[in-house]
Amino acid sequence: MLHGLFGRKSDAAVTNSEPSRESRFIEAFLDCECEYIPANTDPDEVLRRFDVAEVYCRNNGMCPVLVAVDDILAEAFFENAGIPLPEGDSIPPGDMERITKYRNELIASYSPANAEAVILAGEQRAAELLKDRQFKKILWESKVIEFDDNNKCMEAFRDIQTRKTRELLLAKIPVSEPWQVAAWLPMGGWNGCPSPEDMLAMAKRWYDRYGAVICCVTYDEMEFHVARLPSTREEALALAKEHFYFCEDRLTQYGGHYNLATLVEGLLRSRYWYFWWD
């Protein structure tokens, strides 16, 4: 698990309207057009600005993504790219070249075999968990649990406890294919969070099938906006299992208030997919 390079708690509120040091490093790492959004900005204003950026990006070969500024996320970006953490206030030019090379090589190395491996490992993990009668009864086989979370809009840009807007960058990422956004945001590779290679492979799989595109990331959360919903309950069930294989916490971190059937219902009607790794 990453611990943060700037010596502050990862979810601490940032109240200064000026970009933090972490924000400057993440923006430099992304090396693309970014719009700074201070912490505690009204959530409706954040979504309005995202909508405006979406139109702009559509007309200019880009994809908009809300990136929650965080020291742990900044550290993950640099570590996954194999780049030393900056000692000063800027990234040396040579390191920027290495970041670009890493990103291009990650895209070039895409293989559907990575997605297949994620699913196979998930199936094997699920088979083990299903030996637990409580898991099987409560999370896998029980009926839909009533819930009012229809995922009508993005949520991860808000702190899960305070519900206030985090410090954000609205990144406008120049990609030839929207699924490639994952290569610009190399989070993961710790605990149960998939590696950047696996993230990219699943992003490609879901983009091809559902038009799913990453729209928001934090150091331990990722959201997709979905253009096409599953057309049948059987398809939604298969997709729900893929979500579980990709992110076990999708089901297991809700204290019995969420289960596979509930996830299926959400996938049949929601345009947003939310993943969180503990």
> Region 11-24: what's the mean pLDDT?
71
217 vs 85, more confident: 217
CA distances in angstroms from 258 to 137, 149, 244, 263, listed in the order given: 12, 11, 12, 7
> Region 220-245: what's the mean pLDDT?
95
CA distances in angstroms from 56 to 53, 60, 61, 212, 226, listed in the order given: 5, 6, 9, 19, 19
Single out the residue of 224, 219, 257 nearest to residue 243, CA to CA: 224
User: Residue 16 domain-assigned?
Assistant: no
> Region 47-66: what's the mean pLDDT?
97
User: Residue 12 domain-assigned?
Assistant: no
pLDDT at 1 over 70: no
Quick: pLDDT tens for 21-39.
999 999 999 999 999 999 9
User: Residue 14 domain-assigned?
Assistant: no
pLDDT at 148 over 60: no
Q: Work out how many domains the chain is built from and give that number.
A: 1
User: Residue 135 domain-assigned?
Assistant: yes
Q: Which two tokens stand for residue 234?
A: 């059987």
> Region 120-127: what's the mean pLDDT?
92
pLDDT band for position 2 (cuts 50, 70, 90): very low
pLDDT at 9 over 80: no
- Residues spanned by the domain of 228: 21-276
pLDDT at 4 over 50: no
User: Residue 13 domain-assigned?
Assistant: no
181 vs 149, more confident: 181
The helix-helix angle for 196-210 and 93-108 (nearest 10°) equals: 50
pLDDT attached to residue 16: 58
Residue 213 contacts residue 58 (beta carbons within 8 Å): no
